[in-house]
Amino acid sequence: MMSASVKIAPSLLAADFAHLDQEIAGIEAHVEWLHLDVMDGHFVPNISFGIPVIEGVRAVTDLYLDCHIMTTNPGAYLPELAEAGVNGVTAHIEAVPDPGPTEMRAREHGLDFGLVINPGTPFEAVAPFVESCDLIVIMAVEPGFGGQEFIPGVLPKVEAAREWVENRGLRADIQVDGGIGPENAGTVGAAGASVLVAGSAVFRADDPVHAVKEIRRAAERNE
Ligand code: DX5
Ligand code: ZN
């Protein structure tokens, strides 16, 4: 369909946590965003990292920090996340079926705001809110863990989101998160994604910069 230019957002979840400064320095000149997966062990069955780690990340990079909040109450730590230096937050519609107050709180703290849908959640669940969002995120794996296999069945939702945004002239980016690598970035781009998250495919690659370039090339050429 489109995708003249895409943003690549490596997910730090797959990086070496003992050397985050080096991991970030290795890719930061080649990517637009850094994707931060915050998990609470309750909304998802895993715990990742929180505010102190994000402060540490902010101290070593000027990249746009895209914080994917996988917690039961995504509104609870918005002031702290803003203070720690994230630029945008995304909250799951499964956690906040009425996202208005969460979005308002995010905006009060100067944060970009987006909504995320799990593989089993239809696009219709977020459609009424797309107009005010900066970002809509289509999960291509069940949230909670990196390194899972891409679920191709979510691609029609990416197309639906892209069509919704184009038909209404909206500004929202369409992000796809989970299981993305050079081998499927083309179909993700062709479906209409403008932001591709990739964790394992970047940070577990022998050459992360090469991996980023391959993902970008595939996504922009739709191949
Ligand atoms: C899953 C996270 C994803 C994940 C992506 O809950 O939201 O961002 O870390 O990692 P890969 O690319 O390894 O699937
Ligand atoms: Zn994520």
Q: What is the pLDDT of residue 4?
A: 73
CA–CA gap between residue 140 and residue 180 (Å, rounded): 8
pLDDT digits (tens, 9 = 90+) for 105-150: 999 999 999 999 999 999 999 999 999 999 999 999 999 999 999 9
Residues lining ligand 1, judged by CB closer than 6 Å?
11, 13-14, 35, 37, 68, 141, 143-144, 146-148, 177-180, 197-201
Per-domain boundaries in the chain: 7-221
CB 40 within 8 A of CB 70: yes
Distance 137 CA to ligand 1 centre (A): 12
CB 56 within 8 A of CB 89: no
pLDDT digits (tens, 9 = 90+) for 29-56: 999 999 999 999 999 999 999 999 999 9
Q: What is the pLDDT of residue 222?
A: 78
- Give the Å distances, CA to CA, from 9 to 97, 175, 181, 189: 26, 9, 12, 14
Distance 181 CA to ligand 1 centre (A): 11
- Residue closest to 147 by CA, chosen among 91, 222, 200: 200
Structure tokens belonging to residue 131: 């107009």
Structure tokens belonging to residue 51: 């505010």
In three-state form (DSSP H/G/I as H, E/B as E, the rest C), the secondary structure along 136-158 is: EEEECCCCCCCCCCCCHHHHHHH
Q: What is the pLDDT of residue 3?
A: 56
Architecture of domain 7-221: Alpha-Beta Barrel (3.20)
Identify the bridge partners of residue 139 per DSSP, sorted by sequence position. 177
Atom of ligand 1 nearest to the CA of 148: 14
Please indicate, yes or no, whether the overall pTM of this predicted structure exceeds 0.85: yes
- Give the Å distances, CA to CA, from 87 to 40, 109, 111, 131, 165: 20, 10, 6, 19, 22
Atom of ligand 1 nearest to the CA of 202: 12
CA–CA gap between residue 90 and residue 102 (Å, rounded): 10
Distance 69 CA to ligand 1 centre (A): 12
